[in-house]
Amino acid sequence: MSREEELKIIEKIKAGDSFLYDRLVLEHSPKIMSVIRGVVGNNEDAEEIAQDVFVKAFFSIDKFRGESSFATWLFRIAYNMAISKMRKKRYSFVDIEKTNLPAHINDQNNQNEAEERERRYILLEKMLKNLDTNERFLIMLFYNQDKSIREISQITGMGESNVKVTLHRIKKRLALIADSKMEVSYG
């Protein structure tokens, strides 16, 4: 969906055509789910938070002025909601579920790929466990969603230099974890 098309849909929703909201949900739910899953770790909690994000967005849609993209605005809601809910300790990070492994992992011919994917999941889990909620969110936006520093700054409300410094710090920590894990794996 192009930005112009999206803005037209949003204007129609604001005018009362709320059925069009389904298109926005279908368009953006995979991205939101992906990031929130990385933040909370399990599908069930991620689903609940993602649903609440879209509900909140629906009732706040009059506040969307189109200065940023709709995705950025949604991520901002998701960020605030994830931070708030994790802070209340209603959700705690649990092990990354491996339910998202593609079906062909079980194929004998792709055994090496399956093992590699398995290793990467374990590594991903270890990395995310060592980060706090805010850091997990930053890292998911940067590496999972390819968001720019500027976009991450708009989403989180952090200054751009603060985002850069935090990402750099996290990256170094993750690289150490990755190195140690690789040593253990291939040790």
Positions that interact with other proteins (CB under 8 A): 16, 18, 22, 25-26, 29-31, 33-34, 37-38, 47, 50-52, 54-55, 58-59, 100, 117, 120-121, 123-124, 127, 139-140, 143-145, 171-172, 174-175, 178
In whole angstroms, how close is the CB of 179 to other proteins at the nearest point? 10
The least distance separating other proteins from the CB of residue 132, rounded to whole angstroms, comes to 17
Residue 25 in contact with residue 54, Cβ under 8 Å? yes
Q: How far apart are CA 59 and CA 14, in angstroms?
A: 10
Count of C-beta atoms within a 10 Å radius of residue 182: 12
Residue that has been written with the tokens 């994830």 in this structure: 82
CA-CA distance, 147 to 73, in Å (whole number)?
13
User: Counting Cβ atoms within 10 Å, is residue 37 exposed (0-12), middle (13-18) or buried (19+)?
Assistant: buried
HSE (side-chain half, CA atoms, 13 Å) at 6: 19
Which amino acid would we find at residue 123?
L
Shortest Cβ 86–other proteins spacing (Å):
19
Q: Give 64 or 121: the residue with its C-beta nearer to other proteins.
A: 121
Least distance (Å) between residue 56 CB and other proteins = 9
Q: Are 155 and 45 in contact (CB under 8 A)?
A: no
- Smallest distance, Å, CB 161 to other proteins? 18
How many residues make up the chain in this entry? 187
Pick between residue 97 and residue 162 the one whose CB is nearest to other proteins.
Answer: 97
Nearest-approach distance from CB 43 to other proteins, in angstroms: 8
Please say which residue, 7 or 105, places its beta carbon nearer to other proteins: 105
Nearer to other proteins, 125 or 158 (CB): 125
Other residues' Cβ atoms within 10 Å of the Cβ of residue 63: 8
The nearer residue to other proteins, 47 or 153, going by C-beta atoms, is 47
Nearer to other proteins, 10 or 123 (CB): 123
